[in-house]
A and B are shown apart, each in its own frame.
Chain A
Amino acid sequence: MELTGWGRFPRFETRLYEPSSPEAAARLQPLLSGFAPRGNGRAYGDAAIGVTASILSRGLGRFRHFDPAERRLTVESGVLLSEIIDAFLPRGFFPPVVPGTQFVSVGGMIASDIHGKNHHGAGGFGDHVDAFELALPGGEIRICSPGQNADLFKATIGGMGLTGTILSASFKLIPVESALIAQETIVAQNLDEAIAALSAHEDWPYSAAWIDCLASGAALGRSLIYLGRHAKAADIAAIDPHRRPAGKKRPLGVPIDLPGFTLNRLSVAAFNELYFRKGASAAGKPFLNGIGSFFFPLDGVLNWNRIYGRRGFLQHQCVIGTDAAAGAIAEILGRFAKRGNASFLAVLKKLGPAGRGYLSFPKPGFTLALDLAMDRGVFEFLDEIDDIVVAAGGRIYLAKDARQSRATFEAGYPELDRFREIRREIGAERAVASRLSDRLGI
């Protein structure tokens, strides 16, 4: 059947397998050649599409064990983050790291070594994984941890599924006192202010800047900085009960593809202006926010990826080392502002220490992510952006990528050779192949 990633570009035919247990997934692998694991399909590009076959992890959807003393949770890899939050937030526990959507699988979070708004302090999801079970391409099951099969552990964290299917994993949850986030919003009038503010507020566990991409000139990089921490019981007691955020709302949906022309420069500009105004008017006043609207604002609109129409869209996400960040990101934003591309918003975030994996995306510096509609010249335009990234010693996030060149990729991931070596050692070279690994020659 035809599969795509979240950006709905590119599209490829692949055979889809849906094993119903970890053992069944491991038994299936040696029968396939050119397969890739697939979690919940939230990677934007071609990472979760197997060249000939894709192994869906949905049937590996069982929780296994929770040790309250250690706060260690063990689950099968197809369990969704949303299920973990539903089960454990009411009991006072929260995942150590969450991305911008809760509809991702545990396997996908490990394979992309995902980062959240707390990366500057907490590191990536991979930094919290104690151990996982990995099915090698031939079906043998290996337990991997920092002390056992350590090389496979480092290759699989951030390894984009290219070492075989992760069957289950153990990681520690963090204790929280409430299901709310104490939030503060700061206005930054330009990029330098935004970068300075993110660095000045590292004591907040969660932070990220939403940049208005259409602001230019002196206002280039104009943004709202969202700071958050888990609210304590005392924070909640202090607030007027009528002003507490409401509980679960039913998400609105985008049921059908909107025509591609809905998003033009004007409508996006109007949206960004409104978003900025709305945020700015609340700036400076601390308030309590729900977990959902703080971490997963877009999950409120189901299938929002369809607003770009059937052609799909691209996301560009790079990380630039701390020293080069201000200059390179200013240049990138300048190009975007000039082009007037249909990006809703850009997100800027400070990253902490490098991830554990050979292909982990995070490294100390600043990461910038933008969405782009599929218009004429977009690929050439992004190639130019990539040149800026490479010149600044940066890299592009594989979980978002659908189009970077091999040269850009190779320049960004210096431990690639070690990764390839491990793939050879475990017989994954030809056996495990996604459209991404095929395109980038991994």
Chain B
Amino acid sequence: MDEPKFLLVLGGGSDIGRACALRFAQAGWRVTLAGRDLAPLKREAEDIATRTGVAITTSFIDILDTPSFAAFETGLGGLPDAIVCVVGLLGDARRAETDPAHASLVMRSNFEGPALLLGQFAEGFAERGEGVIVGVSSVAGDRGRASNYVYGAAKAGLTAFLSGLRNRFGKTKIRVVTVKPGFVRTKMTAGMKLPPPLTAEPQEVAEAIYRASAVKPRDVIYVKPVWRLIMTIIGSIPEPIFKRLKL
């Protein structure tokens, strides 16, 4: 039998990260869950390993600690075949308007950290000539809105970064997938009132990511297709009107 493929999940303790790891493991991939809190990561790793019989390991990463990235990669003991980056921070939108430290944290957690780390792995993939990079961004990055523009701007940065990478590797076997999940029922959104037709379960996001990376290659995925329509409409509203809307 072939060596199992190797998936790295950045943000493996999140509901979406955990669901992705399980989905890939069910297809026989070995997985490393990376995150900044190892105890809960170990719990997820044991869960997935027991369910699937596949080897799951954990690794420490703080996405804000950019100098540690090189050592992190070495510590993995091999270049992954695919990376799914789920790391992100919603933050407190009101606070981010007035507290530069908080705004900076949101920007760095959603953009700078993920972009730098994925960029580093992209160099390894370029050398090998193969690899899949999946970045979980957000529809919030498609157009800045009053309700959460700091988070949105950071996600817009990530979306543009991923799009750039994709373009750079467009003629190679390296693939870059941007995921804009819409609303997802996770710890991040616990307690929020989410409209059911627009809200995906973490398992649906994982299935979409698995398909886009391992079954039928896709560049940009909205998990619930209706979101593509919604964002097209939102994107097409002329700015003079848009700026007066409450969205």
Chain A interface (Cβ within 8 Å of chain B)?
20-21, 62-66, 73-75, 83, 87, 91
**Stretch of B41-49, B78-86, B125-133, B218-226 at the chain-chain interface:** B41-49
CB-contacts of B33-70 with A (<8 A): 40, 43-44, 46-47, 50-53
Chain A residues in 8 Å Cβ range of B43: 21, 62
- What is the minimal beta-carbon distance from B192 to any residue of chain A, in angstroms? 15
Q: List 26 A-B contacts (CB under 8 A).
A: A20-B187, A21-B40, A21-B43, A62-B43, A62-B44, A62-B46, A62-B47, A63-B46, A63-B47, A63-B50, A63-B51, A64-B46, A64-B47, A64-B50, A65-B46, A65-B50, A66-B50, A66-B53, A73-B50, A74-B50, A75-B50, A83-B51, A87-B50, A87-B51, A87-B52, A91-B53
Q: Contact string, B185-211, partner A, CB cutoff 8 A, digits 1/0?
A: 001000000000000000000000000
Which chain B residue has the least Cβ–Cβ distance from A62? B47
> Whole-angstrom distance between the alpha carbons of A75 and B48 in the complex?
12
- What is the minimal beta-carbon distance from B53 to any residue of chain A, in angstroms? 7
Chain B residues in 8 Å Cβ range of A83: 51
- What is the minimal beta-carbon distance from B34 to any residue of chain A, in angstroms? 18
List the 5 closest pairs (A to B, CB-CB), nearest first: A63-B50, A62-B47, A87-B51, A63-B47, A66-B50
Known: A21-B40, A74-B50, A87-B50. 11 other contacts (CB 8 A): A62-B46, A62-B47, A63-B46, A63-B47, A63-B50, A64-B46, A65-B46, A65-B50, A66-B53, A75-B50, A87-B51
> Whole-angstrom distance between the alpha carbons of A63 and B54 in the complex?
13
- What is the minimal beta-carbon distance from B137 to any residue of chain A, in angstroms? 26
Chain B residues in 8 Å Cβ range of A75: 50
- What is the minimal beta-carbon distance from B193 to any residue of chain A, in angstroms? 15
Chain A residues in 8 Å Cβ range of B51: 63, 83, 87
Chain A residues in 8 Å Cβ range of B52: 87
- What is the minimal beta-carbon distance from A32 to any residue of chain B, in angstroms? 20
Chain A residues in 8 Å Cβ range of B40: 21
Chain A residues in 8 Å Cβ range of B50: 63-66, 73-75, 87
> Whole-angstrom distance between the alpha carbons of A83 and B52 in the complex?
11
Which chain B residue has the least Cβ–Cβ distance from A87? B51
Of B46, B50, B52, B53, most buried by chain A (CB within 10 Å of CB) is B50
CB-contacts of B16-48 with A (<8 A): 40, 43-44, 46-47
- What is the minimal beta-carbon distance from A304 to any residue of chain B, in angstroms? 22
> Whole-angstrom distance between the alpha carbons of A327 and B110 in the complex?
72
Which chain B residue has the least Cβ–Cβ distance from A22? B43
> Whole-angstrom distance between the alpha carbons of A63 and B43 in the complex?
8
Chain A residues in 8 Å Cβ range of B44: 62
> Whole-angstrom distance between the alpha carbons of A250 and B150 in the complex?
43
> Whole-angstrom distance between the alpha carbons of A66 and B52 in the complex?
10
- What is the minimal beta-carbon distance from A334 to any residue of chain B, in angstroms? 49
Chain B residues in 8 Å Cβ range of A21: 40, 43
Of A20, A63, A66, A74, most buried by chain B (CB within 10 Å of CB) is A63
- What is the minimal beta-carbon distance from A307 to any residue of chain B, in angstroms? 24
Q: Contact string, B151-177, partner A, CB cutoff 8 A, digits 1/0?
A: 000000000000000000000000000
- What is the minimal beta-carbon distance from B63 to any residue of chain A, in angstroms? 22
Which chain A residue has the least Cβ–Cβ distance from B52? A87
Chain B residues in 8 Å Cβ range of A66: 50, 53
Which chain A residue has the least Cβ–Cβ distance from B47? A62
Of B40, B44, B51, B52, most buried by chain A (CB within 10 Å of CB) is B51
Chain A residues in 8 Å Cβ range of B47: 62-64
Which chain B residue has the least Cβ–Cβ distance from A86? B51
> Whole-angstrom distance between the alpha carbons of A21 and B187 in the complex?
13
Which chain B residue has the least Cβ–Cβ distance from A84? B51
Which chain A residue has the least Cβ–Cβ distance from B187? A20
- What is the minimal beta-carbon distance from A84 to any residue of chain B, in angstroms? 9
> Whole-angstrom distance between the alpha carbons of A73 and B47 in the complex?
11
- What is the minimal beta-carbon distance from A5 to any residue of chain B, in angstroms? 25
Which chain A residue has the least Cβ–Cβ distance from B46? A64
- What is the minimal beta-carbon distance from B155 to any residue of chain A, in angstroms? 26
Which chain A residue has the least Cβ–Cβ distance from B45? A62
Chain B residues in 8 Å Cβ range of A91: 53
- What is the minimal beta-carbon distance from B238 to any residue of chain A, in angstroms? 42
> Whole-angstrom distance between the alpha carbons of A64 and B44 in the complex?
9
> Whole-angstrom distance between the alpha carbons of A74 and B52 in the complex?
14
Chain A residues in 8 Å Cβ range of B187: 20
> Whole-angstrom distance between the alpha carbons of A91 and B51 in the complex?
10
Which chain B residue has the least Cβ–Cβ distance from A66? B50
Which chain A residue has the least Cβ–Cβ distance from B40? A21
> Whole-angstrom distance between the alpha carbons of A205 and B32 in the complex?
42
Of A62, A64, A65, A87, most buried by chain B (CB within 10 Å of CB) is A62
> Whole-angstrom distance between the alpha carbons of A352 and B244 in the complex?
73
> Whole-angstrom distance between the alpha carbons of A64 and B42 in the complex?
10
- What is the minimal beta-carbon distance from B206 to any residue of chain A, in angstroms? 15
> Whole-angstrom distance between the alpha carbons of A386 and B233 in the complex?
65
Which chain B residue has the least Cβ–Cβ distance from A64? B46
> Whole-angstrom distance between the alpha carbons of A91 and B52 in the complex?
9
Chain B residues in 8 Å Cβ range of A62: 43-44, 46-47
> Whole-angstrom distance between the alpha carbons of A87 and B52 in the complex?
7
- What is the minimal beta-carbon distance from B57 to any residue of chain A, in angstroms? 16
- What is the minimal beta-carbon distance from B190 to any residue of chain A, in angstroms? 9
- What is the minimal beta-carbon distance from B35 to any residue of chain A, in angstroms? 15
